[in-house]
Structure 1
Amino acid sequence: MGIEYLRRTPAPISDLAEETMVRMRDGIRLATDVYLPDGNREPGPTILVRLPYDKNGAYSFMPEIAEHMTRRGYRVVAQDVRGKFRSEGETLMAVNEAYDGYDTIDWITKQPWSDGIVGMWGESYYGLTQWAAASTAHPALRAIVPRHTGTRLAEIPPTEPEWAFGRQYLLTHFHGNDDIEWEFDWTRRPYADTVEEFFATVGSRSASYDLTFPHQVALRRFPAGHPFDAPAVPTLMLMGWWDNCAHWQWQDYAELLRRPAWSRLLYLQIEATDHENYSHFDLPITPENDPAVNQRARQRMFGRYIDPSLDFFDVFLRGHAGTIPRIRWQLANSGDRAFHESPSWPPPGTRTLVLHASGSSLIHEPGPSEVVTWVHDPEDPVPSPMPDSFAFLRYHPDEQDTMNRKDVLAFTTDPVTTDLDLTGPVTVQARVSSDGPELDLFARLLDVSPDGAAHLITRGRTTAIGLQDITVSLGHIGYRLRSGHSLRLMIASTDAPEFIPAPGNGEHRWLAQSTKPNTQQVHLGPDGGLTVRLTVAG
C-alpha cells in the first residue's frame, strides 16, 4: 500500500506581484516576485526575501507581508530558492544560498526601480539565506534581519540528542521542488527502513537526506567564507523565548559579540514567542486569535511581526534619523507586552540564583550526598508534550502528569512569596553516568501554579558518555514567576518523538533494530550534585 503523503505544489502568483526568472551565474533561473509600492517604479530601497516554502504559498503568506512592506514605501523581492517550487536547479539544503543570494542582489541593483540599496528579511531558513548572502560581501547589502534562525540551523551535532526534524526536514521541504507532507511511523524499527519505503512510494529520493545519512557529509554552506568573517553589516536579530531553534541563534549572538566590527552593528529583540510567532501574551490560542487560520488575527500580528524590522530598515536603508535600541525584550507572564530596553543582555543589575536538587526539592543549600537512578527504556520513551514544537505556544501543554513517570526526576521549589523575574541564561550542572554506551539528558524548567498545572519556561539537552560532569544550557529567558508559584526542574532521558531515543546498545539511532534498557544515574549533594543556575533581576 505504501505511505500516504500530501504533495504541495506552487500556489498561484499574487495579483500584486510581477514574476520573473532571474538567471544565476551557472545559468540556473530562480523564480522571483517583485512587489512595488502602488506600482511606483521610481528607484528606492529593496527588501529581499529568499525562502524554500513557496513565495506564493499560504504557509509564509509572503504576498500579505509584501503588501505590508510596500505600504511603507519599500520594493519587495520574494524568491523561491534553487530547486524549490517554481525555481530551477537541484534541491539541496544550504548548498547554493551564498552565491545565489549574491547574484540576486546584483540583479536587483540593475533594475530601474532599485536605488542600489538592499536589505534582507526573513525567519528560519530564510534567515539562513541572509547569513549566506552576507558571507559574499555584496556592497549593496546594507542591513539584515535574521529571525528565529542561526548559521548552524538544522545541523546534527554529535554532542546532543538527535532532533528528529533535522532529517525529516530534508524529506519534506528539501525532497524536490514540491513540499511533501507525511506522518512518520515511530513504532517501526529501523527508522531508516520507513524512509526507504517513503522514497519507493513517491518514486524519488532526497539528495539532501542522502548527504546526511548514515553520517553527515560536511557541506560548504558558506563557500565564500563564514559570514562572521565578512565585512559587518547592521544586523537586527529577532528571537523568541520559546523558539525551538533559539539555541543556534544564541550561539551566533555570543560569537558576534566577540567580533568588534559586528558587535558595533548588532541589535537584539527578544519576544515572548515561539518559532511560528505565537505570543505568550495571546494565550490561550483560539481560532479567533490564531494568525495561521484567521486573516484578521494575522493582520493584527503584522504590527509586532514586521514593523520593528521596517523601523530598522528606515534607519539603515533609508538613512532616516532615529535611534534603534541596542536590546529590546519582553518579560513574559508579566501582563505587560511592552518592550524593555537595555544596553546589554542580560540587563544590568541581574544576579545569579543557585538552587540545589535534594530529595524531590530545589533548595538554596546542598542536601546530603546521594545517587538517584532511573531506567531509560527506548521502547517506552517519555513522550514529547505537544505534536509540534515549532508552534509550542499554540498548544502550551500542561506537563504536570509527566513527573509521575518512573523514568522522570522532578525537583520543585517552595512557592515564591513575591514575583521573581528571570532575566538571562539558565544552566543545569550535574554529575551523571549510565550503564549503557551513552546518556541523553533532557532538562525542563517549569512554572508550577498553585493548582498544580506545570508549564514550560525553558529547556535544554545534552549527551554524556560514561561518568561525566556536564553543564546543560537551557538558553535564556525573560519570564515572571508569579507569587505563589513554584519552579520545577524535570530530568529525563527521552523526549520522543521530537528527539530520536538512544537505542541503549550503541547502534546508530536510525539503523538500530533492537533496543536495550539502561540504568541512568545523577548525583545529588555538595560534590558535583545537580544544580540549577538562574539569572534573576535585582
Structure 2
Amino acid sequence: MTRPTRNEYVTGYESTCNCTEMRMTLETDVPMTTRDGVVLRADIHRPDDADRRPALLVRTPYDKASPYQPLYLDPRFAASRGYVVVIQDVRGRGTSEGEWLPWKHETEDGFDTVAWVAAQDFCDGRVVMCGASYLGNTQWRAAASGVPELRAIAPGMTWSNPLDGILRRGGAPEHGLNVVWSLMTGMTELLRRGKAAEAMEAAHRYDGLGRGEYPSYPAGRIPWLEELDVPDIGLRRADADPKTVAELDVDSYLDEIRTPALHIGGWYDIFLQGTLDNFARQRELGVASHLIVGPWTHSPDFTPQVGEMNFGLAAGGQSMGLTSSIAAEHFEFFDAVLADRPLDRAPVRLFVMGRNEWRDEESWPLARAATTRLELGSAERAVLRSPHGESSADEDADSGSPAVATLTFEASEPVPTVGGGLAMHDSFPWGAWNQRDVERRDDVLVFTTDPLDEPLEITGRVRAHLRVRPGAAVSDWVVRVCAVRPDGRSINLVDGVTRVESTDGRADTSGERTVTVDLWSTSIELAAGHRLRVHLAHSNFPRWGLSQPDGSFISDVLLGAGDSWIELPVIPPSA
C-alpha cells in the first residue's frame, strides 16, 4: 500500500521573492478519490506555513517524481512566486491506481482533481495548470470539463486536431511517434503488472528501433503491442471506434472553452501547428490568451541547439532574450490572469530564426504577410514570384509547355527520416539537419532557386500545391522546404504529407488531380546568398507509415506554367 509522506527542505530565489530562503514542505503520494472510486496520488510542494495560495497543478503519465519535471518548471521556483505545486500521476500511471488507457479518463479525472485541489486547506480556491505534450492535453481536457476553479492553463507543445497532429498527419499515421511512445509507456505498464520478462521484451524492441528495426505494418496495427498487450498512442482505438478521438481532441471543444491559455510551441516541434491554431482560435473568440514560439523541438529543456543548428544563447528557454525564461513567462501570465489584469506585453512573442531575435507581434498569423509563389519547374529549378507575379530570376521556371517529372516509390527502400518536427527513437534526432544524403536519392525530386539577392523573411504557414497523376490507389505526397546555405548545407525548415486515396481503390495514372500539402509554419530570415530548395517524395519513413506495405509504383508531377508551386508567407522588409 502506498502511504503519503512529509519532508521539509529549504530553497532560495533571491531575485524573485523578498526573502533569501524559504522553508518548504514536500508531501508525497497524497491520495484523492475520483467520482468512480479510483485513487490518484500526487506530490505537493508548498511553503511550510498556513497561508492559502493559488495552486499550480500538473497531471502527468510520466511519473510525478521524474527528474525531468524540473526542467520544464521547477516546483521550488513556483513556490517562490507564491504558488503551491501539485504534481499528480494520471490514472494507471506511477503511484495512481486504475487502468492505464491513454486519454480515456482525463476529462472527468481533470475535473475531479482541480476541484479537489481547490478545496484543500493550502489552496485559496484558484487553480492553474501547466505542462507540455500529454500534460498539455490534460489541461485542455480539464478546461473542456468546465470545472469552475480552473482559472488559467499553459499548454506547451500540444496538438489541436488529433487526426492532424498526434495520431495522423495529412491522413498518414504518425508511425514513428506511435511505436516509440507506445513501447516506452508499455515498458512501465508491464513492470506495473509484474511482467518483468515482457517488459524486457519491450525494451529489446525499443533498442531495435535504433538498429533500423521499425515495423512497417499497415497503419493503426502494430503486432508488437498486441503481443505485449499494451495500448498504443490511440490510433488503433480511433480506427476501430472513431468516437474515441474526442478523448484527446482540442479543436472541437475550443468554442466552449473560455479559460485563458499561454500557448508554448517550437518551430521544430511535432505539434507546432496545433499550438498555433489553438491560440489563433482562442483570440478569435475573445479569450485573453498569449503565444510564445521559440526555435525548439519537442524537448523539455528548450535548448537553443536544434539539430546541427545553434540559434544562440538568447534562444534558450532558460534565457529568453537574456531577460526572461519560460518559467518567468508562466508566472507573469498566471499572475495577470489571477489579478484580472492584462499582461503587459504583446499577445505574441516569436523567435525569428536566421536573425536569431525575439519579436513581439499583435496577432498570429501576421496580417502583413504577403503570399509569394515558389514555382517548381523543369531542370530542377524553382523560381520565386512576388505577390504581383514578377519573377525573382531572369528566366521563368519554364517558358514552354508544362514538363512532367516522374516520382518513384519502393516499399523496401523508403526515403529515410532525417530531422524535422518529430519525436522518435534517439537514432532519429529531431530538429534542423543537413539533407544532402536525402537529396542524392533517385526517389526524391529536388528543386532549387538561384541565390537570393536580398534577405527574405518567411513567417507563417507554408503549403504546397501539386498537379499530379498518382501511380497507386493509395499514395503519400511528402514535401519539404530547405534553406541552402552558402557553404552548401541544405537545412530542413518545414515539411508535410498528404495521403491520397482513389475513390474506387484503383490507380488511375491517366487522371490528373491537385494535391495540397500543409507544411505547417515557420519563422526564418534567409540572408542574401542563401537559396530555397524543395523536396518531393512518396515517403518519409519511419516518421510516417508507408502508404503501401510492399511493392512499387511511379507517379507523375506536372511542372511549369503554374502547375506545381509552394505558397510562402513573406514578410515585407521594414520601411
TM-score, length basis structure 2 = 0.78
Displacement after TM superposition at 1:529 (Å): 2.7
Aligned positions of 1:325-404 closer than 5 A: 325-336=346-357, 339-359=358-378, 360-363=380-383, 364=385, 365-367=396-398, 368=400, 369-386=402-419, 389-390=422-423, 396-404=432-440
Q: Are the aligned partners of 2:170 and 2:518 in contact in 1 as well (CA < 8 Å)?
A: no
Displacement after TM superposition at 1:280 (Å): 7.5
1:188–1:242 Cα change, 3 Å: closer
Displacement after TM superposition at 1:43 (Å): 0.6
What is residue 43 of structure 2 aligned with on the other side?
33
1:43–1:278 Cα change, 3 Å: closer
* Unaligned runs of at least 5 residues, structure 1: 1-11, 291-296, 504-511
1:207–1:436 Cα change, 3 Å: closer
2:290 maps to a residue whose letter is Y
What is residue 76 of structure 1 aligned with on the other side?
85
Q: Which of 38-47 and 121-130 deviates more?
A: 38-47
2:434 is the counterpart of 1:414: no
Q: Are the aligned partners of 2:72 and 2:300 in contact in 1 as well (CA < 8 Å)?
A: no
Q: Are the aligned partners of 1:45 and 1:75 in contact in 2 as well (CA < 8 Å)?
A: yes
SS in 2 for 1:489: strand
What is residue 239 of structure 1 aligned with on the other side?
265
Displacement after TM superposition at 1:350 (Å): 2.5
SS in 1 for 2:116: helix
Displacement after TM superposition at 1:501 (Å): 1.6
What is residue 479 of structure 1 aligned with on the other side?
524
Choose the corresponding residue for 2:182, options 150, 156, 170: 170
SS in 2 for 1:130: helix
Query: What is the CA–CA distance in structure 1 between the aligned matches of 2:249 and 2:436, rounded to whole Å?
Result: 47
2:69 maps to a residue whose letter is S
Query: What is the CA–CA distance in structure 1 between the aligned matches of 2:72 and 2:471, rounded to whole Å?
Result: 55
Query: What is the CA–CA distance in structure 2 between the aligned matches of 1:285 and 1:454, rounded to whole Å?
Result: 11
Q: Are the aligned partners of 1:53 and 1:59 in contact in 2 as well (CA < 8 Å)?
A: no
Query: What is the CA–CA distance in structure 2 between the aligned matches of 1:281 and 1:497, rounded to whole Å?
Result: 26
Displacement after TM superposition at 1:215 (Å): 3.9
Q: Are the aligned partners of 1:186 and 1:497 in contact in 2 as well (CA < 8 Å)?
A: no
Q: Are the aligned partners of 1:99 and 1:133 in contact in 2 as well (CA < 8 Å)?
A: yes
Query: What is the CA–CA distance in structure 1 between the aligned matches of 2:77 and 2:49, rounded to whole Å?
Result: 15
SS in 1 for 2:295: strand
Displacement after TM superposition at 1:494 (Å): 0.9
Query: What is the CA–CA distance in structure 2 between the aligned matches of 1:387 and 1:299, rounded to whole Å?
Result: 23
Q: Are the aligned partners of 2:481 and 2:535 in contact in 1 as well (CA < 8 Å)?
A: yes
Cα-to-partner distance string for 1:362-421 (whole Å, 9 max, x where unaligned): 113452401111210011111111499338886632112311111001111111122211
Q: Are the aligned partners of 1:460 and 1:472 in contact in 2 as well (CA < 8 Å)?
A: yes
What is residue 530 of structure 1 aligned with on the other side?
565
1:246–1:116 Cα change, 3 Å: same
1:161–1:186 Cα change, 3 Å: farther
Query: What is the CA–CA distance in structure 1 between the aligned matches of 2:410 and 2:248, rounded to whole Å?
Result: 40
Q: Are the aligned partners of 1:55 and 1:62 in contact in 2 as well (CA < 8 Å)?
A: no
What is residue 304 of structure 1 aligned with on the other side?
325
Cα-to-partner distance string for 1:187-214 (whole Å, 9 max, x where unaligned): 66657999545655x5x43376695386
Displacement after TM superposition at 1:484 (Å): 1.0
Query: What is the CA–CA distance in structure 1 between the aligned matches of 2:438 and 2:186, rounded to whole Å?
Result: 34
Q: Are the aligned partners of 1:55 and 1:79 in contact in 2 as well (CA < 8 Å)?
A: yes
What is residue 460 of structure 2 aligned with on the other side?
424
What is residue 54 of structure 2 aligned with on the other side?
45
Choose the corresponding residue for 2:296, options 273, 298, 302: 273
Displacement after TM superposition at 1:70 (Å): 1.4
TM-score, length basis structure 1 = 0.84
- How many residues of Structure 1 are paired with residues of Structure 2 in the alignment? 502
Cα-to-partner distance string for 1:297-339 (whole Å, 9 max, x where unaligned): 9966895222211110010124467524211111112133xx2
Q: Are the aligned partners of 1:144 and 1:236 in contact in 2 as well (CA < 8 Å)?
A: yes
SS in 1 for 2:267: strand
Aligned positions of 1:121-520 closer than 5 A: 121-153=130-162, 155-157=166-168, 159-168=170-179, 169-173=181-185, 177=189, 181=203, 182-183=206-207, 184=209, 186=213, 190=217, 195-197=222-224, 200=227, 204-206=229-231, 211-212=236-237, 215=240, 217-219=242-244, 220-221=246-247, 226-258=252-284, 260=285, 263-277=286-300, 281-282=304-305, 304-319=325-340, 322-336=343-357, 339-359=358-378, 360-363=380-383, 364=385, 365-367=396-398, 368=400, 369-386=402-419, 389-390=422-423, 396-466=432-502, 467-503=512-548, 512=549, 515-520=550-555
1:186–1:251 Cα change, 3 Å: farther
Query: What is the CA–CA distance in structure 2 between the aligned matches of 1:438 and 1:45, rounded to whole Å?
Result: 53
Q: Which of 378-387 and 117-126 deviates more?
A: 378-387
1:468–1:186 Cα change, 3 Å: farther
Cα-to-partner distance string for 1:224-276 (whole Å, 9 max, x where unaligned): 99532434111111111111111333343454355x2xx33232222111111
Query: What is the CA–CA distance in structure 2 between the aligned matches of 1:167 and 1:224, rounded to whole Å?
Result: 19
Q: Are the aligned partners of 2:407 and 2:444 in contact in 1 as well (CA < 8 Å)?
A: yes
Query: What is the CA–CA distance in structure 2 between the aligned matches of 1:124 and 1:80, rounded to whole Å?
Result: 15
Cα-to-partner distance string for 1:142-197 (whole Å, 9 max, x where unaligned): 11111100243465348522111453233432676459652446466657999545
Q: Are the aligned partners of 1:444 and 1:459 in contact in 2 as well (CA < 8 Å)?
A: yes
Cα-to-partner distance string for 1:85-143 (whole Å, 9 max, x where unaligned): 11111111111111101111111111111111111111111110011000111111111
SS in 2 for 1:135: helix
1:107–1:324 Cα change, 3 Å: farther
What is residue 506 of structure 1 aligned with on the other side?
none
Cα-to-partner distance string for 1:348-371 (whole Å, 9 max, x where unaligned): 433222111112111134524011
Query: What is the CA–CA distance in structure 2 between the aligned matches of 1:328 and 1:43, rounded to whole Å?
Result: 33
Q: Are the aligned partners of 1:136 and 1:224 in contact in 2 as well (CA < 8 Å)?
A: no
Query: What is the CA–CA distance in structure 2 between the aligned matches of 1:56 and 1:247, rounded to whole Å?
Result: 30
TM-align CA RMSD: 3.4
Q: Are the aligned partners of 1:14 and 1:56 in contact in 2 as well (CA < 8 Å)?
A: no
